[in-house]
């Protein structure tokens, strides 16, 4: 069960960023093989925390498919899926402790707290329209960006003593992470199940109002009632989909993601030039143009 998602079929977006960030930071300081091995462990731990959270997320959402195959809960049932997620998380914790650096333990433990808080934020909703977008962005940071931001920060701390470099790494990860989730929310409206490897319009079906819906609601205030009842009446999901596609919600969310990517690019450009820094700059473009 625990091996099931480690089959090389995920995008490995997080470990890729973490390895690139480690190398981009190491330019600022001469590092031993031991430090490089610890940074590699952080990349592995980031993917393990991500995978554990996917397994738990699919239990919470009662999801049937992910990455084009059946979910762990679908095959082995909910109880075993919860334990499989716990086991992956415990293996990640052991690997984290083995790095033997209390600052790194604290930085990556924050991620786990944020993931859980993010999931709780997603369970709740704001009645006040003005608070809705801030709530959505906070949820987005905690559920998606915190893992990327703090893993980037962790490898920068291991690689270089300069706090300015740590802040650049964190800010890059945070901005790329938020953009990544905004595009994920767009793809839920614009992509098909085959491409996504999971059902399309899944967010609406779960009662979630993401970026495209929140922007569409500014143009079509009649969507408010649907958002408040979490698209629970028959026909709500289809109607909300129509409103979003008639509005410029998708374009506005994409534009917002572009702004976060631009900020990420500005941050990473402060590091000394290296092929890895350039790859991280290029990666902000891939975040925006990805289709799965
Ligand atoms: C067990 C650590 C832990 C947390 C429990 C359930 C939960 C709290 C948090 C859910 C976090 C979650 C699943 C966020 C979604 C993040 C996201 C954008 C997932 C999709 O990532 P991709 O596209 O997936 O990188 P692949 O399949 O490519 O790895």
pLDDT in tens, 217-251: 999 999 999 999 999 999 999 999 999 999 999 99
Looking from the CA of residue 85, the nearest atom of ligand 1 is 1
The protein residue whose alpha carbon is closest to atom 2 in ligand 1 is 53
Q: What is the mean pLDDT of residues 197-201?
A: 81
Say what percent of the chain tops pLDDT 70.
100
User: Hey, what CATH topology would domain 2-289 get?
Assistant: Farnesyl Diphosphate Synthase (1.10.600)
Q: Residue 156: what pLDDT?
A: 98
Q: Is the pLDDT of residue 127 over 90?
A: no
Q: How far is the CA of 112 from the centre of ligand 1 (A)?
A: 11
- Record the pTM: 0.96
> What distance in Å separates the CA atoms of residue 69 and residue 50, rounded to the nearest whole number?
17
Say if residue 198's pLDDT is above 90. no
**Ligand 1 center to 143 CA (angstroms):** 7
The pLDDT assigned to 263 comes to 98
- Which whole number is the average pLDDT over 242-264? 97
Q: Indicate if the pLDDT at residue 14 is higher than 90.
A: yes
Report the pLDDT averaged over residues 147-171: 97
Amino acid 199: pLDDT? 79
Q: Is 67 in the pocket of ligand 1 (CB under 6 A)?
A: yes
Ligand 1 close to Cβ of residue 181 (< 6 A):
yes
CA of 175 to the centre of ligand 1 (A): 17
Q: What is the pLDDT of residue 200?
A: 78
CB 71 near ligand 1, within 6 Å: no
Mean pLDDT confidence for 244-271: 97
Measured in Å, residue 31 CA sits from the centre of ligand 1 at 32
Please work out whether the CB of residue 85 comes within 6 Å of at least one atom of ligand 1.
yes
Q: How far apart are CA 75 and CA 5, in angstroms?
A: 13
Does the structure show a pLDDT above 90 at 187?
yes
């Amino acid at each position: 069960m625990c091996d099931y998602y480690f089959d090389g079929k995920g995008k490995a977006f997080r470990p890729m960023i973490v390895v690139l960030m480690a190398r981009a930071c190491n330019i600022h300081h001469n590092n031993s093989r031991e430090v490089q091995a610890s940074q590699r462990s952080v990349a592995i731990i980031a993917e393990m925390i991500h995978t554990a959270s996917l397994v738990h997320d699919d239990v919470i959402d009662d999801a049937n498919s992910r990455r084009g195959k059946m979910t762990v809960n679908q095959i082995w049932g909910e109880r075993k899926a919860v334990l499989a997620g716990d086991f992956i998380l415990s293996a990640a914790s052991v690997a984290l402790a083995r790095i033997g650096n209390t600052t790194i333990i604290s930085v990556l433990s924050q991620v786990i707290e944020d993931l859980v808080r993010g999931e709780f934020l997603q369970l709740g909703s704001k009645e006040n329209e003005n608070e809705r977008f801030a709530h959505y962005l906070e949820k987005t940071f905690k559920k998606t960006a915190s893992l990327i931001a703090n893993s980037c920060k962790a490898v920068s701390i291991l690689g270089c003593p300069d706090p300015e470099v740590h802040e650049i790494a964190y800010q890059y990860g945070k901005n790329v992470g938020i953009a990544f989730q905004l595009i994920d929310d767009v793809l839920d409206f614009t992509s098909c199940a085959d491409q996504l490897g999971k059902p399309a319009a899944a967010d609406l079906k779960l009662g979630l109002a993401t970026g495209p819906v929140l922007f569409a609601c500014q143009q079509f205030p009649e969507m408010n009632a649907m958002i408040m009842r979490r698209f629970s009446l028959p026909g709500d999901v289809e109607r909300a989909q129509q409103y979003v596609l008639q509005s410029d919600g998708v374009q506005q969310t994409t534009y917002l993601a572009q702004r976060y990517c631009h900020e990420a690019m500005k941050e990473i450009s402060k590091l000394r030039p290296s092929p890895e820094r350039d790859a991280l700059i290029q990666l902000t473009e891939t975040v925006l143009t990805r289709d799965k």
